[in-house]
């Protein structure tokens, strides 16, 4: 058998990568030692995860740093005259090493200064370059740092030179045939190492936020990778404090702020709770795309959601409930944090600069907390928002369930997901005896509308034509049957839950994550379609044996109100500083803010009862409409100027306030439980 001989140029390439990887690991250990005072004993057990995930971030940087050397060695493998520029390559690698180490030095100083790893916000210092330079000179040992970087550059130069000398000291028996295989093998291995994990999604910054402890998360980050990850969000921090102050009196009154203060922009509201708080279990279910215009509530003859319709009859149904935006990741963020996701670049869950968010449900300190998703929580980077901010959450995703079968791109089927949710919650509550707060995110009602082989006896509808489907808010018969399947699986979950011990003491919160556009919707007032409100209206249902009096809530409310409404229903004390309010509580003004992120300029509006104020961008064409009337396009701005001005200011105020709150809702601040 022929002995496998690894070419020296491949060996040199990976030795360079491994050498840098070891240095980055050592620097992480030094960081832990220097700032160990920030680590509490309660989080020692998380250090294993921290160093494991951190090592993968370090490998990503080491791989990126080795790419120029790898390209050079690859050229050499096929053309040996490339050795003539060996010295130039040594200097290139030395400069890269100096640049990386400079970021590490800056990171250590940055953390010592404000207890935060270096990120793209440092680029704002260039706006006052002279002042920043003077501050650095007076605060840090710049000369010693410069000498240290010089020494490190020389180390990098001679390390690279030694590796290249080793690579070039070989005979020529490896030529095109052999080197081509090694080239592609090295390329694939580098890509795999930089991908970072065996998963549908690559390693992402949100993997670093596996803990609610800020130091643990900071320790996990790699400063250079973090600087890169946050760079594209450097200009997204576009809130204007003066505009927030301009609208503060209006918005603080709308939110019923405890102690309004225009100078400090205080939005804190503290709810004391009831004299007899409840220990009900809570299961929050995101139903994918459960749009109001597609359900049995507006399609009674087609009856696409018979179980949801029957469930609503014995529950509390909100029939005038809206989502701020029309995207799932934005819905997750808005629901959990209470702030509409008004980012225009990407979803807020993808922005590492605003990962730190207070979640009112953390007031349920005596509860076990769960998040269930049939796919990966790396999707949309929602992992960071959930694991970092929802204390001690048990995260279950594809690959973590005992019984699962991959259905399509979205992971396991909703049926498998619901079965596992029921099994886990039942078993865990028997073990712990604690109430639980669980979030379940479904994805089955989504293209490609897969019907799994194991479907609990689901029978697709074959009587509906494609034309009929389009006129009733569906894009196809396949979509119609996919919604029926989603409803069928929810019914199966309730059938299983009713047999469990936890059921009799559980509040089920069911709602759509967003609506869906359907231009031919003849089952809806035309104004909903023309004003695009069908993209935002969804049902909200509070269900379960704990509902004493079924009723229909017709006042306007929003997805951001869900967590405060749950806390109010439980009678639990909590605090919030975001837009969400208790939708069951009397005495506050109804309303729902709308933001259409997918269009440019971004339309936004405010729904209140039968009225809808709408504006294109922040200074475009606007109007006030009664969207359900026959003359839905009639602008009432001149006829009802007072209402027009009020709803216009509410729209602008909620927009500016939401942008501000994305950066000013930290979980560790005054008022935390």
Quote the CA–CA distance of 367 and 365 in Å, as a whole number. Answer: 5
Phi, psi of 603 (to 5 degrees): -65, 150
CB 16 within 8 A of CB 160: yes
Quote the CA–CA distance of 598 and 516 in Å, as a whole number. Answer: 13
Quote the CA–CA distance of 284 and 291 in Å, as a whole number. Answer: 17
**CB-based contacts of 48, cutoff 8 Å, min separation 6:** none
Predicted confidence at residue 231, as pLDDT, reads 81
Residue 173 has pLDDT above 80, yes or no: no
Task: Return the HEC string of 244-279.
Answer: HHHHHHHHHHHHCCCCCCCCCCCCCEEECCCCCCCC
Residue 133 has pLDDT above 90, yes or no: no
Quote the CA–CA distance of 340 and 323 in Å, as a whole number. Answer: 9
The SS3 call for residue 462 is: coil
Find the mean pLDDT for residues 67-92. Answer: 85
Chain centroid to Cα 216, Å, comes to 19
- Which one is predicted more confidently, 166 or 646? 646
Find the mean pLDDT for residues 552-557. Answer: 98
Give the pairing of strands 622-626 and 611-616.
antiparallel
Residue 447 has pLDDT above 90, yes or no: no
**Averaged pLDDT score across all residues of the chain:** 91
Phi, psi of 336 (to 5 degrees): -75, -40
Among the listed residues 299, 211, 669, 224, the one whose alpha carbon sits nearest the alpha carbon of residue 484? 299
Percent of the chain whose pLDDT exceeds 70: 94
H or E element at residue 23: helix 8-34
Give buried/exposed letters for 75-101 (b at 16+ CB in 10 A, else e).
ebbeeeebeeebeebbebbbebbbebb
Predicted confidence at residue 346, as pLDDT, reads 77
CB 544 within 8 A of CB 504: no
Among the residue ranges 170-179, 536-545, 550-559, the one predicted with the least confidence is: 170-179
Find the mean pLDDT for residues 456-474. Answer: 94
Predicted confidence at residue 181, as pLDDT, reads 82
How are the residues of the chain apportioned to helix, strand and coil, as percentages rounded to the nearest 5? 50, 10, 40
Quote the CA–CA distance of 673 and 668 in Å, as a whole number. Answer: 9
**CB-based contacts of 573, cutoff 8 Å, min separation 6:** 270, 271, 272, 273, 277, 363, 673
pLDDT digits (tens, 9 = 90+) for 37-66: 888 887 898 999 999 999 999 999 999 999
Find the mean pLDDT for residues 223-247. Answer: 85
Confidence of residue 234 (pLDDT cuts 50, 70, 90): low
- Which one is predicted more confidently, 341 or 2? 341
Among the residue ranges 30-44, 318-332, 421-435, 651-665, the one predicted with the least confidence is: 30-44
Residue 492 has pLDDT above 70, yes or no: yes
CB 27 within 8 A of CB 108: no
Predicted confidence at residue 426, as pLDDT, reads 98
Confidence of residue 670 (pLDDT cuts 50, 70, 90): very low
Quote the CA–CA distance of 212 and 362 in Å, as a whole number. Answer: 11
Instruction: State the DSSP string of 357-401.
Output: ---GGGG-TTSEEEEEESS-TTGGGHHHHHHHHSTTEEEE-TTS-
Predicted confidence at residue 131, as pLDDT, reads 66
Predicted confidence at residue 172, as pLDDT, reads 47
CA distances to 181, 195, 225 from 188, in Å: 11, 10, 21
Residue 144 has pLDDT above 60, yes or no: yes
Predicted confidence at residue 673, as pLDDT, reads 42
Please report the domains of the chain, with CATH numbers, ordered by start residue.
Answer: 8-231 (no CATH), 269-582 (3.40.720.10)
Count other C-beta atoms under 10 Å from residue 646's C-beta: 16
Residue 671 has pLDDT above 50, yes or no: no
Quote the CA–CA distance of 417 and 392 in Å, as a whole number. Answer: 21
pLDDT digits (tens, 9 = 90+) for 263-273: 999 999 999 99
The SS3 call for residue 403 is: coil
Predicted confidence at residue 324, as pLDDT, reads 97
Confidence of residue 665 (pLDDT cuts 50, 70, 90): very high
Quote the CA–CA distance of 221 and 641 in Å, as a whole number. Answer: 53
Predicted confidence at residue 236, as pLDDT, reads 58
Residue 285 has pLDDT above 90, yes or no: yes
Among the listed residues 289, 280, 305, the one whose alpha carbon sits nearest the alpha carbon of residue 508? 280
Among the listed residues 363, 359, 495, 369, the one whose alpha carbon sits nearest the alpha carbon of residue 432? 369
Residue 412 has pLDDT above 50, yes or no: yes
Find the mean pLDDT for residues 306-312. Answer: 98
> For the chain, how many residues are written?
673
Predicted confidence at residue 177, as pLDDT, reads 59
Confidence of residue 379 (pLDDT cuts 50, 70, 90): confident
pLDDT digits (tens, 9 = 90+) for 434-443: 999 999 999 9
Confidence of residue 126 (pLDDT cuts 50, 70, 90): low
CB 317 within 8 A of CB 338: no
- Which one is predicted more confidently, 603 or 81? 603
CB 402 within 8 A of CB 420: yes
Give this prediction's pTM: 0.86
Predicted confidence at residue 351, as pLDDT, reads 87
Percent of the chain whose pLDDT exceeds 90: 73
Q: Tokens for 480?
A: 């119609």
């Amino acid at each position: 058998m022929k002995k496998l001989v690894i070419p020296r140029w491949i060996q040199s390439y990976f030795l360079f990568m491994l050498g840098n990887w070891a240095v980055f690991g050592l620097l992480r250990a030094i960081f832990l030692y220097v700032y160990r005072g920030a680590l509490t004993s309660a989080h020692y057990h998380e250090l294993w995860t921290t160093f494991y995930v951190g090592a993968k971030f370090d490998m990503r940087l080491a791989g990126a740093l080795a790419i120029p050397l790898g390209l050079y060695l690859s050229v050499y493998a096929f053309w040996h005259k490339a050795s003539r520029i060996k010295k130039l390559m040594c200097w290139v690698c030395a400069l890269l090493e100096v640049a990386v180490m400079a970021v590490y030095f800056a990171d250590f100083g940055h953390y010592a200064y404000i207890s935060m790893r270096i990120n793209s916000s440092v680029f704002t210092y260039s706006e006052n370059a002279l002042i920043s330079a003077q501050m650095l000179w007076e605060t840090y040992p710049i000369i010693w740092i410069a000498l240290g970087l010089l020494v490190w550059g020389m180390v990098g130069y001679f390390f690279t030179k030694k590796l290249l000398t080793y690579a070039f000291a070989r005979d020529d028996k490896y030529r095109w045939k052999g080197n081509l295989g090694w080239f592609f093998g090295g390329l694939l291995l580098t890509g795999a190492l930089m991908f970072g994990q065996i998963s549908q999604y690559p390693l992402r910054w949100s993997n670093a936020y596996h803990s609610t402890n800020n130091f643990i998360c900071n320790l996990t980050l790699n400063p250079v990778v973090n600087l890169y990850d946050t760079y594209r969000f450097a200009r997204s921090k576009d809130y204007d404090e003066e505009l927030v102050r301009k609208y503060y009196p209006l918005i603080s009154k709308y939110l019923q702020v405890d102690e309004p203060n225009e100078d400090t922009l205080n939005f804190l509201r503290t709810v004391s709770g009831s004299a007899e708080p409840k220990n009900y279990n809570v299961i929050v279910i995101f139903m994918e795309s459960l749009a109001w215009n597609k359900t049995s509530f507006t399609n009674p003859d087609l009856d696409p959601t018979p179980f949801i319709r029957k469930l609503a009859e014995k529950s509390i149904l909100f029939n005038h409930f809206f989502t701020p935006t029309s995207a799932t990741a934005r819905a997750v963020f808005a629901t959990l944090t209470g702030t509409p996701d008004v980012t225009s670049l990407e979803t807020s869950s993808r922005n590492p600069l605003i990962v730190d968010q207070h979640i009112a449900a953390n007031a349920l300190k005596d509860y076990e907390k769960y998040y269930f998703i049939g796919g990966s929580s790396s999707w949309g980077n929602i992992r960071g928002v959930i694991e970092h901010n929802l204390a001690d959450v048990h995260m279950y995703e594809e690959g973590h369930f005992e019984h699962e079968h991959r259905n399509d791109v979205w992971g396991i089927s909703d049926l498998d997901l619901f079965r596992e949710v029921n099994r886990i919650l039942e078993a865990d509550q028997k073990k712990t005896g604690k109430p639980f707060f669980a979030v379940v995110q479904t994805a089955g009602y989504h293209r490609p509308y897969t019907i799994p082989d194991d479907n609990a006896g689901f029978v697709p509808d074959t009587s509906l034509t494609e034309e009929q489907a389009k006129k009733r808010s569906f894009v196809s018969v396949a979509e119609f049957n996919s919604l029926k399947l989603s409803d069928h699986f929810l019914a199966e979950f309730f059938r299983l839950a009713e047999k469990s011990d936890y059921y009799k003491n559980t509040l089920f919160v069911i709602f759509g994550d967003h609506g869906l556009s359907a231009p031919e919707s003849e089952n809806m007032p035309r104004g909903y379609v023309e004003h695009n409100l069908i993209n935002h209206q969804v049902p909200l249902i509070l269900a379960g044996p704990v509902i004493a009096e079924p009723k229909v809530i017709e006042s306007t409310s929003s997805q951001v109100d869900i967590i405060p409404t749950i806390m109010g229903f439980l009678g639990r004390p909590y605090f919030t500083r975001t837009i969400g309010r208790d939708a069951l509580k009397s005495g506050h003004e109804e309303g729902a803010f709308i933001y259409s992120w997918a269009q440019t300029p971004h339309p936004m509006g405010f729904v209140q009862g039968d009225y809808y104020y709408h504006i294109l961008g922040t200074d475009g064409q606007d109007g006030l409409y009664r969207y359900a009337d026959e003359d839905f396009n009639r602008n009432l701005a001149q006829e009802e100027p007072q209402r027009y001005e009020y709803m216009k200011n509410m729209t602008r105020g909620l927009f500016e306030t939401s942008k501000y709150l994305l950066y000013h809702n930290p979980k560790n601040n005054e008022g935390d439980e």
